[in-house]
Amino acid sequence: MAPIGTTPKLNGARKLNRPQAERRPASVESGLRRIRPESPIWHGTQPEGALMFYPTLDVTGLDPLDVLAVAAHPGDAEWFCGGVLAAEADGGKRTGILDLSTGDMSARGIPQQRVAEAEEAATHLGLAWRGNLGLPDGRLENNILARMTLAGIIRTLQPKVVIGPHPNRLYPDHRYAWDLLQDACQVSGWPKLDDDLPPHRPTLLLQGMPDLPQAPALLSPLTAEQLSKKIAALSCYRSQLQPGVHPADPFPFTSEAHLRAAVTASATHYALTTPHALAEPFWTHQPLITRTLTTLG
C-alpha cells in the first residue's frame, strides 16, 4: 500500500528511466486506507467508512490518441476543453483524458466517487480512453519521477495535440500540473531516454481557460449539441454540486442549473467576436502554423 503523500507508480508500463525503475516495483496494487467519517478533513455528507484509495494505471497496448487532455483533478478537463473533446470525437478522432489526481483533498465527495463520476463523464464526451495517475491532490510536483512517468505515458499514447490547464488559476495544482505537462511533453521527444519507447513530442500543446477571461490565441467553435455534451459530462460530478460545503473549495457551482448557466455564458462570451454562437478558448506559447492564411477563421 502506498502511503499518503507518495507518488503511485505506473502499473504495467515498460521501464521509463532505469535508475528510477530499479528503485520501484514493476506494478503497484491499489492501496486503501480507512478514514474516519467524523474526521475534520470531511465536509458535507460522506459515506460511512469512507476509503482513501490509489488507482492503478496501465497504458500498454493502447492505440494512439489524436487529442489528450491532462488535468489536475477529475472534472477539470471537462471544464476547460470538454466541448472540443466532444467535437473531435464527433469527427472520428480518438480522444482521451489523463487526470493526475483523484481530487482526494476536495471538501466535496471522496476519491471513489470522483473516479466513478469521471468514467460516467467520459461516455458523454465519447472518449476513447481515460486514466488516473493517482498523484497526491494539493501536493502535485514537477519532480523527476512524475515528469518521467508522464513522459512515458505521452510516448505510449502518442497524442498529436495535448491540452492542459491554464496556470493562471487560483488552485495551485493547476499551475504545477501545467509545468509538469509542459516539461513532460519536451522530455517525451528526447531520443536518448533510457527506455524502450519511441520518442514522441505532441505537435501542439495548448492551455485551457484561466479563471478570469483573457484574450485567447485560438478559438474552437462548438455546436449547441457539443456544448450540451460538455455540460452533461460536467453534470456527472454530482459530488461537487453541493451548496455551501466549504468556502475554500475551488469548485464554485452550487447546482446543475448554476453550472449550465456558467458554461453557456463562457462559451457565448468567447464567441462574441466570431461568426459563431459558441466557442471554447485556448492559449499557447508556441507559434501556430497554418498552410495558408486564407484557412484561418
Give the separation between CA 174 and CA 164, rounded to whole angstroms: 9
The answer to the question of residue 32 being in a domain is no
The answer to the question of residue 12 being in a domain is no
Neighbours of 78 (CB within 10 A): 30
The answer to the question of residue 39 being in a domain is no
The string of pLDDT tens digits covering residues 131-176 is 999 999 999 999 999 999 999 999 999 999 999 999 988 889 999 9
Calculate ∠ Cα 289-203-297, nearest 5°: 35
The string of pLDDT tens digits covering residues 88-130 is 999 999 999 999 999 988 878 888 899 999 999 999 999 999 9
Q: Mean pLDDT throughout 67-84? A: 96
What distances in angstroms separate CA 12 from CA 37, 58, 121, 195, 202, one per listed residue? Answer: 33, 5, 25, 14, 23
Write out the residue range of the structural domain in which residue 184 sits. 55-244+251-286
The answer to the question of residue 163 being in a domain is yes
DSSP-assigned letters across all residues of 210-224: -SS----SEEEE--H
Q: Which of 110, 119, 117 is nearest to 49 (CA)?
A: 110
Give the separation between CA 213 and CA 265, rounded to whole angstroms: 12
Give the separation between CA 164 and CA 167, rounded to whole angstroms: 9
The answer to the question of residue 117 being in a domain is yes
The answer to the question of residue 292 being in a domain is no
The answer to the question of residue 83 being in a domain is yes
The answer to the question of residue 157 being in a domain is yes
The string of pLDDT tens digits covering residues 203-249 is 999 999 998 888 999 999 999 999 999 999 999 999 888 776 555 55
Residue 7 has pLDDT above 60, yes or no: no
Q: What is the pTM of this model?
A: 0.80
Q: Residue 234 is placed in which grid cell?
A: 460536467
> CATH number for the domain including 220?
3.40.50.10320
Q: Give the number of domains in the chain.
A: 1
